[in-house]
Structures are given as structure tokens and as C-alpha cells.
């Protein structure tokens, strides 16, 4: 019975101090104690957050118990002294907790005051950098597309010119000076076409890589 009295006294003090954490802790212990109808009603009122009802029921129950304990329990004075010590410890813990909360609030205020504008500036710079990188990538893609179209045009012209040179070469004497000159031009034109094909393949590979990167980002 003494334990129930102590717990109810602690809960009563915690309600007065508006400390719900201690109320929840003591409620767990209270529900594990042997209970009667009044104790069950007090626990239900606390769980339902009807603290005014709980305070009235606790006060009435404690008053009834004290009336009985004046002659039934000679250790009531010691229990009261222990309760006062527990209340002092409770208030000390609450003061320490409030001090920590105040320190944390002060830190948050100082953080937002001093670092808030800096963080906003950093985010803005990141946004500008992302836009700049996007524009740079778009410009690079356009340049490569232009190079790709130019290569296609050049290789088409080179193939036509190669066909013309081969047609001219077939109508000449292979040992003639003109035939030798045309054969050299055919060789040069073939090398040019090979180089253009290599550049086209490289540009196509870049396009494929860019498409894969864009798909992964999406």
C-alpha cells in the first residue's frame, strides 16, 4: 500500500509540474500494482489524459488512506519524508532537463541566425552550378551533333569524289603519269573516308553514353 501511495504522490506532483514523461513512467508501475476500482479509474483517467479527474481521484484516495493510516500505519511519517526526498529529486531532474532543453533551443536559434543565410547562399550556388553544368552539357551535345552532321556531309562528298576518281582511273593507262596521280588521290581519299568513319563512330559512342547517363539520372 505504501508503494501505491508513493506512486500516486509522485504522479500528483508530476501533473502539477506538467511533466508527462514522469507520469508515463509511474503509470507503468502503477498498473502493475494490486489494484482496486479506484486505482483502475485513476489509471484510466491518466491514459485518457483526463488529468483533472485523475488529480481529484488521487487526492480523494490519498486523503482516505491518510485517515486510515493515522492509526493503522505508524511508518507514515517516514513515508512522507521519503516522498519529500523523491519530490526534491524529481524537481532537480526537471530543472536539469529544462536547462538542457533551453541550451538546445539557444543553440538552434544561434545556428539559424548565423548559419541560416550561409546555408541559403550555398544552396543557391549549388543551384546556379547545376544550371551552368546543364547548359554546358547541352552546348556540348549541340556541338557534337553539329560535328556529326558535318562528318556525314564530308564523308558523303568524299565517297562521291572517290567514285569519280575511280571512274577516271579505270579509263587511263595504269602506267601513265596521270593514272599514278589519280591513284595517289584515291589513296588519300580512302584514308580521309577511314578517318571520317572513325570520328563518326566516336561521336555515336558519345551519344550512346550520354543517353545512358540521362536514363540513369531520370
- For residue 100, the model assigns a pLDDT of 92
Extract the C-alpha cell encoding 185: 588521290
pLDDT value at position 129?
92
Domain, as residue range, for 35: 2-74
Run of H or E residues at 179: helix 177-217
Query: What's the N-to-C CA distance of the chain in angstroms?
Result: 67
Q: Is residue 53 part of a domain?
A: yes
Last residue of a domain, one of 74, 102, 117: 74
In a domain, 125, yes or no: no
Q: What is the pLDDT of residue 120?
A: 83
pLDDT score, position 74: 54
Q: Are residues 136 and 69 in the same domain?
A: no
Looking at the chain, list the stretches that DSSP marks H as alpha helix, in order from N- to C-terminal side. 2-17, 20-32, 37-47, 51-72, 76-170, 177-217
Is there a domain that residue 103 lies in? no
Which of 74, 106, 123 terminates a domain? The answer is 74
Residue 67, in any domain of the structure? yes
Where a domain ends, among 74, 105, 121?
74
Q: Is residue 173 part of a domain?
A: yes
- For 210, the enclosing helix (H) or strand (E) is helix 177-217
What pTM did the predictor assign?
Answer: 0.35
Residue 79 is assigned to a structural domain of this protein:
no
pLDDT < 50 positions in the chain:
215
* Nearest CA-CA partner of 36 in 70, 65, 69: 65
Domain count across the chain: 2
My answer on whether 138 and 212 are in the same domain is: yes
Q: What long-range pairs does 71-75 form, CB within 8 A, spacing at least 24?
A: 73/1, 73/2, 75/2
Per-position DSSP letters for 145-163, written without gaps between them: HHHHHHHHHHHHHHHHHHH
Task: For residue 159, tell me if it sits in a domain.
Answer: yes
Tell me, yes or no, whether 135 and 209 share the same domain: yes
88 part of a folded domain: no
Residue 211: predicted pLDDT: 60
Amino acid at each position: 500500500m505504501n508503494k501505491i501511495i508513493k506512486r500516486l504522490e509522485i504522479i500528483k506532483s508530476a501533473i502539477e509540474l506538467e511533466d508527462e514523461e514522469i507520469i508515463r513512467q509511474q503509470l507503468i508501475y502503477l498498473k502493475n500494482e494490486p489494484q482496486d476500482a479506484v486505482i483502475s479509474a485513476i489509471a484510466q483517467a491518466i491514459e485518457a489524459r483526463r488529468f483533472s479527474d485523475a488529480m481529484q481521484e488521487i487526492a480523494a484516495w490519498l486523503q482516505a488512506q491518510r485517515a486510515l493510516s493515522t492509526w493503522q500505519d505508524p511508518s507514515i511519517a517516514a513515508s512522507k519524508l521519503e516522498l519529500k526526498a523523491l519530490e526534491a529529486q524529481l524537481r532537480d531532474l526537471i530543472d536539469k532537463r529544462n536547462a538542457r532543453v533551453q541550451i538546445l533551443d539557444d543553440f538552434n536559434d544561434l545556428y539559424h541566425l548565423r548559419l541560416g543565410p550561409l546555408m541559403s547562399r550555398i544552396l543557391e550556388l549549388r543551384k546556379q552550378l547545376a544550371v551552368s553544368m546543364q547548359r554546358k552539357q547541352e552546348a556540348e551535345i549541340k556541338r557534337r551533333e553539329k560535328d556529326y552532321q558535318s562528318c556525314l556531309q564530308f564523308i558523303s562528298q568524299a565517297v562521291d569524289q572517290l567514285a569519280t576518281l575511280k571512274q577516271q582511273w579505270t579509263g587511263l593507262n595504269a602506267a601513265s603519269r596521270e593514272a599514278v596521280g589519280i591513284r595517289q588521290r584515291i589513296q588519300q581519299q580512302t584514308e580521309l573516308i577511314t578517318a571520317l568513319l572513325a570520328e563518326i563512330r566516336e561521336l555515336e559512342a558519345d551519344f550512346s553514353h550520354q543517353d545512358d547517363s540521362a536514363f540513369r539520372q531520370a
